[in-house]
């Protein structure tokens, strides 16, 4: 029979086992292994909270089992290993050991998959620092693509990361749009979108040794890829013959592509250019082929749009720093400022329209392949390709729509009535506290904010300050007015005539080039008068552009008509005498012609042959008929002349100045 001590010991053991069972059962409910009996209790479980806070591997993005196993095997030494890998990566970069560098970068991202800084830094490092070390442009293209692919992989492992999505778009826009070597990089981008079977160089040769191209197959390639072909022929790539185009295809046959070894579309995670999963009917479907018109700016626009999804929706009011939002549901990007972040899609659309105009795609008339008679590709026909689409006109129309929507959604377009309403409400702060719009929005005491009028005044003051700051950092008004003016038919026609004039000038067709310039200038004057805000409210950018055109035009005019005018002036000089007076007592102001010193030279014949008069007046040298303002300010004229080496720079930087 058990003693009292033994019975007490047994009771304690049963109590302990019972308590352990109770705690274990409770933990099963608390951890969410077993569903609690009510939804309220279920919402309080660790599993549900982990899901809500996106702490689980699957809730953060795609699961990486290999990376998870490696991280678990390191126990507490992951920080030490990471430091060693970062140091090793820097050393490999210094030694230009690119393959080893990529392996180390992969290891770093395996160990820190949900910390976005390694993804951002290493992808930037590969796309920008490593790529520029490459001498061959297709090698540069390869490393740019590797950097973007690395960033896209990070985005898949960190779903709903606005920063990673945004910077993928930025890489497309920056590296293929505004950096050096964009002509070749854009062409390689388009080659990546073409099925390998359609760009196989061997299929275009009739006789490779004799450099004879099958014109029927080449014609079909041109019709399907008009923008690529035009860029190859008319840009600095200067492919003057079909054989040179085929050589370009051969030199870049092995580049990152959207297609696998079988010639089929690869999985969307293994394509380049890589696009976001289908999220909008307005953007390209990554599971479908892309046309020749798809360019890097369109890829940038898609990623910029995709980056907007994790952000809290705009309120339609001017906003500064966003602090009041559901942190479980939305995310705010680290950089750039939220208002600039939201401006990414319309800015990319403007880039699309500008790129089309720079490359000569204005309207549905397309491109006449053999417009340059001396470099004909198809001797037996006049082939026109890229017809049926209002290229620049449609692109600018879409840009205007996007800028309008963006401005309304983010409080960047305030009507006069709405702005005056804000100012009237904010005046309460001036009357009671002496706070103007030049002061930051005050942080008042709770008892002061209890007054509804004061609270409304603080809110209106904050909106006016945010509106002014947002306008300054985004330059929104210019982009809005630009898209509004550029979408108009006359503006499209004016730019088309400027493009044609430049083409004719390069071909030394001076007479037709002058006529094209004159037609363009008449259209431009009409448009600038019709859109005065676009012209006069943003003077420098627009005025510099039109004055550069005028300078090219005057150079051409002097080249074409200068000698005849020069001879006429010398004949007048001979008839009247250098110092004689005209009837009425007026002297001939020969110094106005820019050659008064030369007239005093002994070798008058040599001077006559070398001098071209500068008296020609440009169409934008006067005042506008309605506003009586100068078409181009003197400051802009001086700056353009300095850039062309025809005048001293405006406000030159002195030694020692920043």
> In this prediction, what percent of the chain has a pLDDT beyond 70?
83
Of 140, 159, 178, the domain-final residue: 159
Whether 510 and 615 map to the same domain: the answer is: yes
Burial of 295 (0-12, 13-18, 19+ CB in 10 A): buried
State the pLDDT confidence band at 539, using cuts at 50, 70 and 90.
Answer: low
pLDDT of residue 57: 54
Let me know the angle formed at the C-alpha of 37 by 35 and 39, rounded to the nearest 5 degrees.
Answer: 80
Whether 149 and 23 map to the same domain: the answer is: no
Residue 620 included in any domain: yes
pLDDT of residue 31: 72
Q: Is residue 606 scored above 70 in pLDDT? A: no
Let me know the angle formed at the C-alpha of 360 by 241 and 549, rounded to the nearest 5 degrees.
Answer: 115
Burial of 322 (0-12, 13-18, 19+ CB in 10 A): middle
State the pLDDT confidence band at 484, using cuts at 50, 70 and 90.
Answer: very high
Residue 150 included in any domain: yes
Number of domains in the chain: 3
Q: Is residue 622 scored above 80 in pLDDT? A: yes
Give the whole-angstrom CA distance, residue 316 versus residue 417: 16
Of 130, 159, 188, the domain-final residue: 159
**Stretch 479-493: mean pLDDT:** 93
Q: Is residue 40 scored above 60 in pLDDT? A: yes
Q: Are 163 and 221 in contact (CB under 8 A)?
A: no
Q: Which of 78-82, 143-147, 251-255, 376-380 comes out lowest in average pLDDT?
A: 78-82
Whether 622 and 501 map to the same domain: the answer is: yes
Q: Which has more confidence, 610 or 505?
A: 505
pTM metric for this prediction: 0.83
**Stretch 457-463: mean pLDDT:** 90
Q: Is residue 608 scored above 50 in pLDDT? A: no
In tens, the pLDDT along 582-596 reads 444 444 444 444 444
Residue 105 included in any domain: yes
Of 101, 133, 159, the domain-final residue: 159
Collapsing DSSP to helix, strand or coil, 367 comes out as: strand
Burial of 412 (0-12, 13-18, 19+ CB in 10 A): buried
Q: Are 444 and 520 in contact (CB under 8 A)?
A: no
pLDDT of residue 609: 46
Q: Is residue 578 scored above 80 in pLDDT? A: no
State the pLDDT confidence band at 287, using cuts at 50, 70 and 90.
Answer: very high
Whether 103 and 28 map to the same domain: the answer is: no
Whether 95 and 145 map to the same domain: the answer is: yes
Dmax of the chain from CA atoms? 150
Residue 283 Cα distances to 265, 280, 299, 302, angstroms: 18, 6, 9, 6
State the pLDDT confidence band at 651, using cuts at 50, 70 and 90.
Answer: low
State the pLDDT confidence band at 71, using cuts at 50, 70 and 90.
Answer: low
How many Cβ atoms are within 10 Å of 48's Cβ, its own excluded? 15
Whether 531 and 623 map to the same domain: the answer is: yes
pLDDT of residue 592: 45
Q: Which of 56-60, 275-279, 332-336, 517-521 comes out lowest in average pLDDT?
A: 56-60
Overall size of the chain counted in residues = 658
pLDDT of residue 569: 62
Residue 445 included in any domain: no
Question: Which residues are registered as beta bridge partners of 582?
Answer: 586
Q: Where are the alpha helices (DSSP H) in 239-279?
A: 242-251
**Stretch 462-488: mean pLDDT:** 92
Mean pLDDT score across all residues of the chain = 84
Q: Which of 115-129, 158-172, 466-480, 524-538 comes out lowest in average pLDDT?
A: 524-538
Give the whole-angstrom CA distance, residue 551 versus residue 505: 13
Q: Is residue 630 scored above 50 in pLDDT? A: yes
Whether 40 and 86 map to the same domain: the answer is: no
What letters, b where the CB count within 10 A reaches 16 and e where it falls short, cover 330-340? ebbbeeeebbe
- The pair of three-digit structure tokens given for residue 403, joined into one six-digit string: 């800028």
Give the whole-angstrom CA distance, residue 534 versus residue 555: 27
Q: Which has more confidence, 100 or 372?
A: 100
Residue 304 included in any domain: no
Q: Considering only CA atoms, which of 370, 228, 39 is closest in space to residue 237?
A: 228
Whether 36 and 144 map to the same domain: the answer is: no
Whether 584 and 516 map to the same domain: the answer is: yes
Whether 105 and 154 map to the same domain: the answer is: yes
pLDDT of residue 537: 55
pLDDT of residue 122: 87
In tens, the pLDDT along 381-420 reads 889 999 999 999 999 999 999 999 999 999 999 888 999 9
Whose structure tokens read 């049963």?
14
Collapsing DSSP to helix, strand or coil, 181 comes out as: coil
Whether 34 and 107 map to the same domain: the answer is: no
DSSP state of 587: E
Q: Sign of the CA dihedral 205, 207, 208, 212?
A: negative
Q: Which structural domain, as residue segments, surrounds residue 140? A: 82-159
Q: Rounded to the nearest 5°, which phi and psi values hold at 195? A: -55, 135
Q: Which has more confidence, 428 or 342?
A: 342
Whether 583 and 494 map to the same domain: the answer is: yes
Q: Is residue 612 scored above 80 in pLDDT? A: no
Q: Are 367 and 384 in contact (CB under 8 A)?
A: yes
pLDDT of residue 198: 95
pLDDT of residue 571: 67
Highest mean pLDDT among 78-92, 309-323, 361-375: 309-323
């Amino acid at each position: 029979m058990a003693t009292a001590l033994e019975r007490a010991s047994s009771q304690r053991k049963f109590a302990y086992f019972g308590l352990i069972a109770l705690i274990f059962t409770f933990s099963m409910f608390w951890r969410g292994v077993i569903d609690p009996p009510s939804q309220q209790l279920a919402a309080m479980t660790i599993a549900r909270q982990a899901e809500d806070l996106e702490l689980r591997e699957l809730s953060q993005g795609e699961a990486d089992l290999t990376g998870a196993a490696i991280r678990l095997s390191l126990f507490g030494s992951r920080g030490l290993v990471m430091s060693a890998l970062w140091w090793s990566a820097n050393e490999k970069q210094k030694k230009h050991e690119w393959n080893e560098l990529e392996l180390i970068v992969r290891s770093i991202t395996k160990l820190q998959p949900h910390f976005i800084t390694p993804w951002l830094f290493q992808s930037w490092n590969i796309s920008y620092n490593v790529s520029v070390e490459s001498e061959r442009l297709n090698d540069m293209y390869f490393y740019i693509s590797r950097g973007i692919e690395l960033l896209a992989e990070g985005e898949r492992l960190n779903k709903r990361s606005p920063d990673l999505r945004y910077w993928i778009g930025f890489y497309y826009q920056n590296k293929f749009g505004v950096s050096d070597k964009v002509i070749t990089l854009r062409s390689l981008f388009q080659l990546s979108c073409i099925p390998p079977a359609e760009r196989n160089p061997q299929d275009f040769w009739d006789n490779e040794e004799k450099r004879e191209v099958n014109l029927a197959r080449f014609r079909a390639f041109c019709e399907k890829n008009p923008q690529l072909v035009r860029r190859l022929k008319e840009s600095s790539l200067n492919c003057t013959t079909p054989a040179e185009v085929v050589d370009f295809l051969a030199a870049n046959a092995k580049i990152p592509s959207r297609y696998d070894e079988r010639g089929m579309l690869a999985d969307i995670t293994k394509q380049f250019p890589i696009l976001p999963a289908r999220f909008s009917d307005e953007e390209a479907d990554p599971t479908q082929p892309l046309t020749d018109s798809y360019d890097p700016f369109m890829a940038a626009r898609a990623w910029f749009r995709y980056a907007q999804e994790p952000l809290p929706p705009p309120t339609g009011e001017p906003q500064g720093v966003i602090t009041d939002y559901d942190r479980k549901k939305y995310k705010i990007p680290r950089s750039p400022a939220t208002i600039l972040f939201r401006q990414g899609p319309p800015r990319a659309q403007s880039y699309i329209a500008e790129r089309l105009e720079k490359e000569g795609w204005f309207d549905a008339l397309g491109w006449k392949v053999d417009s340059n008679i001396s470099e004909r590709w198809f001797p037996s026909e006049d082939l026109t390709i890229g017809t049926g689409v209002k290229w620049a006109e449609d692109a600018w129309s879409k840009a205007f729509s996007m800028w309008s929507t963006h401005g309304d959604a983010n409080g960047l377009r305030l009507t006069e009535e709405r702005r005056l309403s804000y100012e009237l409400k904010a005046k309460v702060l001036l009357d009671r506290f002496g706070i103007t719009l030049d002061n930051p929005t005050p942080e008042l005491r709770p008892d002061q904010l209890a007054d509804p009028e004061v609270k409304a005044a603080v809110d209106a003051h904050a909106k006016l300050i945010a509106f002014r700051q947002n306008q300054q950092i985004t330059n929104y008004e210019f982009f809005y007015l630009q898209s509004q003016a550029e979408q108009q038919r006359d503006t499209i026609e004016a730019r088309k005539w400027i493009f044609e004039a430049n083409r004719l000038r390069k071909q030394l067709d001076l007479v037709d080039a002058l006529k094209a310039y004159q037609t363009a200038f008449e259209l431009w004057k009409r448009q600038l008068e019709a859109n005065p805000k676009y012209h006069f409210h943003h003077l420098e950018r627009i005025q510099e552009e039109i004055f550069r055109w005028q300078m090219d035009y005057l150079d051409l005019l002097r080249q074409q008509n200068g000698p005849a005018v020069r001879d006429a002036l010398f004949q007048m000089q001979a008839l009247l005498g250098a110092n004689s007076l005209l009837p009425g007592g007026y002297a001939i102001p020969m110094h106005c012609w820019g050659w008064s010193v030369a007239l005093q030279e002994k070798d008058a014949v040599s001077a006559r042959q070398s001098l071209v008069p500068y008296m020609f007046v440009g169409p934008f040298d006067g005042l506008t008929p309605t506003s009586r303002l100068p078409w181009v300010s003197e400051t802009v004229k001086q700056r353009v002349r300095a850039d062309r080496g025809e005048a001293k720079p405006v406000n030159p930087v002195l030694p020692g100045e920043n």
